[in-house]
Structure 1
Amino acid sequence: MLDFLRKKAQSTLIQAVVVVIAVVFIFWGVGTNLGGSRSSVATVNGTEIPDTDFSRAYSQAVDGLQQQFGGKMPPGFADQLGIREQVLHRLIQAELLRQGGEEAGIKISELPVRERIAEMEVFQENGKFSLQRYKDILKQNRMTPGSFEKGLQSDLSADRVQELVGSFAVISDNAAARWQAWTDEQIKLAYVKFAPADFESKVAEDEQELAAWFEKNKEKYRSEPKVRLKYLLFNQSDDEKEVQIPEEELKAKYEQDKESYRQPEQRHARHILFRVEEGAADEVKAAQRKKAEEALAKAKAAEADFSALAKEYSDDESNKEQGGDLGFFAAGRMVPAFDQAVFSMQAGEVSGPVETEFGFHLIKLEEIRPENVRGFEQVKDNIAAGLKRQQAKALSFKRAAAAYEAVMKAGSLDKYSEQEAGKVQVAESFSRSERPQDIPADPKFLDAAFGLKKGELSSIIELREGYAVLFADDVQEPELPKLETMKDKALADWKKEKAAELAAKAATDLLAASREKQELQTPEGGTVTVTGLLKRMAPGGENAPPDQVQSDAFKLAWKEKLPAAPVQAGEAWFVYEVRERQPGEGAADEMTRQRLSASAKHDLLTAWLASLQSKAKIRISGAALRSRDDEALQ
């Protein structure tokens, strides 16, 4: 649950459109046109989307990605995923939503904003709103009352617009019943599998056909380029042994980087979740809140065991058995409402119900780990290792530069080798895919090696762990082989392809015969496999064929028993017959109705936004198109 909460809080990639729009409104107040004095990434019907809003949204998206990749993300990765375009698209949608609400006459006054703030438990003391607590919590989160209230006003407006548009999405009883019947349908299949491997023995070798096939496919047998190298290697690890860092230098480095060793305040919390699915009916939501309030009363009782209550009540299966334990985390790592509640509590305090997009939470704050700075003795070894690497790298470069100069003076690497016996290493001809073990695996080494022409000396190549100087003693260009040199492999590949053709033909012939007889026929020397009842929404089951076959079978009209064509799954072909169908009961449960309703509302809102966008005058500036990876990672 901890990782899930963190991702939901910080990754804009995995959130639904409606949720993303709400988040944008809360934090950045998109849509306030302050005039043309500041730069903007886009304008929507004349309203600017400021560059600052885009930068914040983009930074949050990249930060979410970084956390999902363990804090390390390759340069340019965000651009490859199109994060800039996605963030800009969502900001534009948020502005369209705001403008659409205005056109619909939806305006939120200051009164409901104040009422909502007063209702937020995180701002209350002894059950009443506390102005001082309100200011303190906003200050802790680097927000002002003005910006928070403006964002909340936009958020309430967005909620009202979404509610209004969603009210037109009605799921009738008949539609829900039809959906339930469709999802609950079950079928029993009989099928025959035709695997190419079963036909390889039937492929007769034909020299003439093999030669023609090889001529057509010979490009895939083209050899890799090879290079024979002579090279000098200057390993950083060799120089690290010689480096000694004085204590004074370590302390000076510590003082210089002291802020980087500062650890923010962390809090250890447990929670009990009363889950509410997205789009749940008001009655369901009210029932879950009531259950949370009843459990809260028990949790606040004297001698209450919060961990035991979590095991009994919590809907969070990921940590229920651990008593709802979320471990230690810093501010800003959870969804906002949860995060604000935890960081406004005292150790030992139980709070709730706190409402988030997951439902209602009861929270117990177990322990507060204050902000601190790691001491010199704690980080001394790490500092020493870092400085050793830096200084060793410098020494390695110094040795490489001296050797390179000596090669130039000697006139060639061979003559240098005569003067410095044993320093030049030799790698016999090799390709990228067959690298000798003593050759560095560093891509820069291989790129440099295969970028040289015969007789060419490289410059000094920087590697991850040192430096190298390379000389291409010989280069073998890629060649197209003759059939005689590749016959065994070519023959095996040709037989495999022919066997696949035979398998496909056998499947086609069996299906034709079966359709003629109106039932699945048993192939000569083959077998028919019969399944148990298979469920549409739960692939698998007794003797079940691959998912592609099951999916195809469920798409058949009820009067059809045989497919129009064999189904390919992986390398094999399948011919099947629907032997039995069992329709679903058609009685949609409350959970199904909620999901259908939520899906219909989401689809309607998306379509409405698309309609607004098609009519809108949208201008995108170049500021939104430049790469921001470096900016976001700073």
Structure 2
Amino acid sequence: MFESIRKHSKFVMILLFLLIIPSFIFVGVNQNYFTESSQTVARVDGHDITQQDWDNAHRAESDRLRAQNPTMDAKLLDSPEARYATLEKLVRDRVLAAAAAKMHLTTPDAQLVRTLREIPAIASLQKPDGSLDAEAYKALVGSQGMTPEGFEANLRRELALNQVLGSVSSTSFTTAAQLQQAMDALYQRREIQVARFDASAFAGKVQPTEAELKAFYEAHTNQFKQPEAATVEYVQLDLAAVQQGIVLSEDDLRTYYKENAARLAGPEERRASHILINAAKDLPAAEREKAKAKAEQLLAQVRKDPKSFAQVAKANSQDPGSAANGGDLGYFGREAMVKPFEEAVFKMKQGDISDVVESDFGFHIIELTGIKQPKVPSFEEMRPKLEADLKQQQAQRKFAEAAEAFSNAVYEQSESLKPVAEKFKLSIHKVENVTREPAPDAQGPLANKRFLEALFSADSLENKRNTDAVELAPSNLVAGRVLSYAPAHTQSMDEVGEKLKQLYVAHQSAELAKQEGKAKMAEWKAKPEAAQLPAAVEVGRDQARDLPREVLDAALRAPTNALPAWEGVDLGNAGYAVIKVNRIAQRPAQDAQVLEQQKAQFTQWSSMAEVMAYYEQLKKTFKVQIKVPRPQ
């Protein structure tokens, strides 16, 4: 099993990513859309995935990722590896959809509602009465290019697909013998001796001549190349900047409190249990009547003995998401459930059992088990939040107007950023050594590819004019200008100066250390009794002894069929190390807490392997063919 995980580690990570982070964007397939000119790139269960499908899916995925991370490099998103990952995801979706259809897997309404309520962005849209702000919800999913109906349908579908592999991962278990064997191998200890040959110890032996330095410079000119760089300044307009100019009066705050106190306190929530008898809305009338009769029979039973509600729900409810819990749906607000269900719940008194309630999903019997009434805080308690919320709202309303004025100002007065900075009370940020590509530690605007492209445009570099306003993210604009510019060049020997000698000495010192280390290892292997080695230490993956990672890895990889074993390790500019592996040491006993942690870790690995194997089997079952080669 461990060999399988090792060989397929890349696949396992991709598969886990797909399981842990569900994608709520699914590109639909219309089989009639295919044409002879649309090349087939993959085939699943007899159905083609065309080049057009692949392009559409990758465009949607790229748009989604860019919306989440505006600074993401477009080249990365359109790399061969990224495109192939999209194709693999399309194949994965088709395989799981085929499996879900074959197993008749669906997502119950209650499970969909619970999942929606667990999405923070949606949970934050509840109104004072507990209902969902429908317009805000529509705008939220619309920002992803979807309608609420489409979003919910895709989420329902995604939850059904996740059941296919989830059913395998949730059943994995580990025996004590498996755990012991795996952990003994993973955390094996070895007794070793390590001799270090540090490059710094050989530095005194390196006395370079001018000719040697020149030859080294000419052989390593790539080390002295300097990318094009600029000194720039920029100003940034965001909601925080707009808020600075907003002054709230006492009347504004008190009016806002009166209008929103209930909402700020939170919505009323109710807890209910239900018994569901499934009856889809398109079911024949006779079948629905049969289901309703069954519900009426169960209603009579629980009204006769209300305390038996949970027991009856466990035995009879056809909602798999709640039946095992006695029908309990937990607390929820308005618009979290389908309309007929919600209307019934919010008319009931605690302890009531409803009449049979009909919905598109069937017939419900509802018991109201709890009511949470929010406490309305005082004005003074809410004052900080009132100020923050009201300023935020006013800033959002004013930002569009401010953004237009900001864009006009940087364009019309393009020789300087001072006018726009003074107008909006913004700070001008000056940064040196800015490059065309974002630096590894770049933050804010200088990590944004589009802004850097604007700064390094021909007009900006040649004329030193302000850039146009660039949108970093919603309600976040930046404009900048180049103060000075240096093109890419290779530093001369004179410019490099003392650094050239330092690099040469470091390079030659490391070479001398390696030569000495290799010579000593050959000598010690031939005459072990003459080996001059430090005292032995025990090491393992959980006991590194401050050894460099390369040394520890070599010590644990060394073959142990004939001990002692010798290994030489090139430490780059740090020098060289010689390792002697004396014996395999017994692993110390572990306390109960550590063993539990290790068991959980191994169970996760085992689950990953089982999921991987099951998915590979599904690919065979549904005859997956990917006709595009994987990027090398």
TM-score, normalising length from structure 1? 0.48
